[in-house]
Structure 1
Amino acid sequence: MSSARLPTLGPPAPAVSAAGGRRLLHRLLARPSVGALFGVLSVGLFFTLQAPGLLSAGGLATVLDIAAPLGIGGVAVGLLLVAGQFDLSIGVVAVGSSLVAALLVTEAGLGIWPSLVLSLAAALLVGAVNGLLVVTTGLPSFLVTLATFLVLQGSTLAVTPAVAGSSRVSGLAEASGWDSALAVFGSTAQLGDGRFRVSLLWWVAATAVASWLLWRTRFGNAVFSSGGAPQAARELGVPVARTTVLLFLGTAAAGWLIGTLSLVRLGGVQVDPALGAEIEFIVVAVIGGCLLTGGYGSTYGAALGALLYGIAREGIALSGWDPRWFQAFLGGCLLVALLANGVVRRRLRAVPRW
């Protein structure tokens, strides 16, 4: 009897293994950060073959220096995208809040720490206004934050020369408390030929906190619910309005941190009318797997998207390419991410686990 059963026990094993492999593949594809990780590895390998110096301490330090501020903003914007909202004002909040701190030091004679606290309050006020306008008026957050961007951009361009006499405010190193602020926001560590900045630690901390909030708290459940099915979430008692306002406060705080890191590093602030950083924060979040329709995304993926950005930018520079190819390369990465995310989201409806 046992000899009759033996032939029937062998063949099903490969089928079970194949089914398990398909399930594993589907689970991996359901995680938005996987695509970003694959992008980082493939783009990193490509540019490493073009310019081996990318893997040197100096090359890695430059990549991380480029990626850190984008990663801080990208993670905050990624959370907002998961909730189905946009924020186009984070870049100008970074410039505006650092300008507030610089003017308080140079014109009002305050120390650097009181100035930074007041500039944080100003940034949070902008975030609160954005969030409250979105939840009370029902207007698209894209348009609300675009209006905020234009208001803040025009204000900074007009106020800076009127108050400081030029588009640059500097001379902050004499302010009281500068040395301690420099240690917190501007310190560096030399490893080989690379100088690694403290912004890297701020980026890691921002990613860790955002990921914990998204995956380990009720607030994270509210974020996914707000983006995936806001009406049903409201009917089930999910605080969609409060969650939205808190997320806008988060992007404002991230903008303040980005501006503060730049302010302390440069010892001043330069008001630049060019638009660009706002779009880049959204680009790295989308490359990281966040859908523009909400309800799907990853903070880890947004951080990896910023890393891919840094690798591509420094890789193109080290490879001797025309720097203008970077925009085309970034656009190609964004298009691939949009297509891949759309396909995966349609085929796999399971909530991601990264």
Structure 2
Amino acid sequence: MTASTRKPIRMRAEPVTDETAGGSVVVGSPDDRYIRVGSVRRFFMSPEFGSGAAAIIIFAGFSIAAPAFASRAGIGNFLDPAANLGIVAIAVALLMVGGEFDLSTGVMMGSTSLVTALVVTQLNTNVWFGMLASLVFALLIGLFNGVLVHKTKLPSFIITLGTMFMLWGLNYAVTTNLTNQVTVSGISGYSGYNSAKLIFGSSAGGFQVSLIWWIGLTIIGYLILNRSRVGNWIMAVGGNSEGAMAVGVPVARVRLGLFMGTAVSAWVVGQLTVIRYASATVTTGIGAEFYFIIVAVIGGCLLTGGAGSVVGASIGALIFGMVQQGMPIAGLPSEFFKFFLGAILLIAVFINLYLSKKAKAVKS
């Protein structure tokens, strides 16, 4: 049965199964996609509606307070950080829907950029070879996180927190030992840099190429979560992993894939950074892991797993970028930015909780 012909399922408290194309998945908790409601009500209950409305209000407010905010240069300024944040937030949103967290994503951005720069400069290799080496490194770390979480059953919060500190220490130790500095620079003089810059470091009309990466990955993430069997598996694992395993969902493969996905997304941003600036530093990405989680929650991801939106997470990243760049332009103290993040996180959690309860109360 295809997604277009799937019949709505009456929501029940106990796990139920849904026959999809090629397999069965367990629905451990009510899933918005299976609730029979009108299209208008569904739209207003969607996580994208809340975050999208907030983004429109914020854009209008800053545009009125500071007209330069809505200029091409102003839009380019806030889309730049939003794109880098959104690329990783997409993978983090998928992971949170699957019921897990990854606190190593921020430091992973710095680690992958450092691996690229160190391989190129220390081994005198082509830039593309350095990028390939860092991609393999990222995949291995993602696999390491996924295996530990699945095998030990320990909270992913703890596992990836340990990974974060290990990578943080390695970044400093290896870089300073090899270069006696905390920054690795000079990769622009090596072969392959110019072609790599076209894909990872170019810009046009004031907009960085990271914007294209962000849009493209958002579309891919949306299709995976909402239009594929894998998306059903992710929802099932996040809602009830034991029930999902009981009906044949490959829980281990889903978890490994999700953790490797966050690692690859961090690699993408790491390469966008190292190629754009032709250097890498040990402090890159430290603390950013919390921003990824915040924008995913703003976009509708539940902290308990089983529900969320890739598009909503991208809109959350857009909100982040607009506020970060808009506050100083509008003359507001930049110190309020952290306050705003904390406040909007709490508001988003309460709204998502309310919408989740409303969705569960709807019966077909």
Question: Same fold, TM exceeding 0.5?
Answer: yes
Contact 2:143 2:259 in 1 (8 A): yes
Change (3 A) 1:349 1:296: same
- Alignment partner of 1:224 out of 227, 235, 252: 235
Q: Which amino acid aligns with 2:101?
A: F
Q: Is 2:359 aligned against 1:348?
A: yes
Identity %: 42
Q: Is 2:120 aligned against 1:105?
A: yes
* Structure 2 equivalent of residue 78 of structure 1: 93
2: CA distance between counterparts of 1:328 and 1:343? 23
* Structure 2 equivalent of residue 187 of structure 1: 202
SS at match of 2:207: strand
- Alignment partner of 2:339 out of 322, 328, 333: 328
- Alignment partner of 1:172 out of 187, 200, 204: 187
* Structure 2 equivalent of residue 55 of structure 1: 70
SS at match of 2:204: strand
Contact 1:30 1:350 in 2 (8 A): no
Structure 1 unmatched ranges of 5 or more: 1-21
Structure 2 unmatched ranges of 5 or more: 1-36
Q: Is 2:209 aligned against 1:198?
A: yes
Q: Which portions of structure 1, spanning 4 or more consecutive aligned residues, are displaced by more than 2 angstroms?
A: 22-26
What is the 5 A alignment of 1:1-354?
23=38, 26-190=41-205, 195-272=206-283, 275-349=286-360
Change (3 A) 1:29 1:345: farther
Cα deviation, 1:267-323, whole Å, max 9, x if unaligned, reads 000111884201001011000000010011000000000000011111101111111
Q: Which amino acid aligns with 1:338?
A: V
2: CA distance between counterparts of 1:156 and 1:82? 30
* Structure 2 equivalent of residue 12 of structure 1: none
Q: How many residues align?
A: 326
2: CA distance between counterparts of 1:94 and 1:350? 41
1: CA distance between counterparts of 2:265 and 2:285? 20
Contact 2:127 2:191 in 1 (8 A): yes
Contact 1:88 1:279 in 2 (8 A): yes
- Structure richer in helix, relative to its length: 1
Contact 1:29 1:344 in 2 (8 A): no
2: CA distance between counterparts of 1:274 and 1:62? 19
TM-score (norm 1): 0.90
What is the aligned-residue RMSD (CA, Å)? 1.5
Deviation at 1:23, TM superposition (A): 4.6
Contact 1:226 1:233 in 2 (8 A): yes
Q: Which amino acid aligns with 2:86?
A: G
Cα deviation, 1:12-44, whole Å, max 9, x if unaligned, reads xxxxxxxxxx95553124311111101101111
* Structure 1 equivalent of residue 16 of structure 2: none
Contact 2:146 2:256 in 1 (8 A): yes
2: CA distance between counterparts of 1:215 and 1:110? 41
Contact 1:157 1:273 in 2 (8 A): no
Contact 2:107 2:285 in 1 (8 A): no
1: CA distance between counterparts of 2:141 and 2:290? 19
Contact 1:103 1:169 in 2 (8 A): yes
Cα deviation, 1:227-251, whole Å, max 9, x if unaligned, reads 1121111111111111010000100
SS at match of 1:150: helix
Contact 1:82 1:294 in 2 (8 A): yes
Deviation at 1:331, TM superposition (A): 1.4
2: CA distance between counterparts of 1:169 and 1:305? 32
Deviation at 1:168, TM superposition (A): 0.4
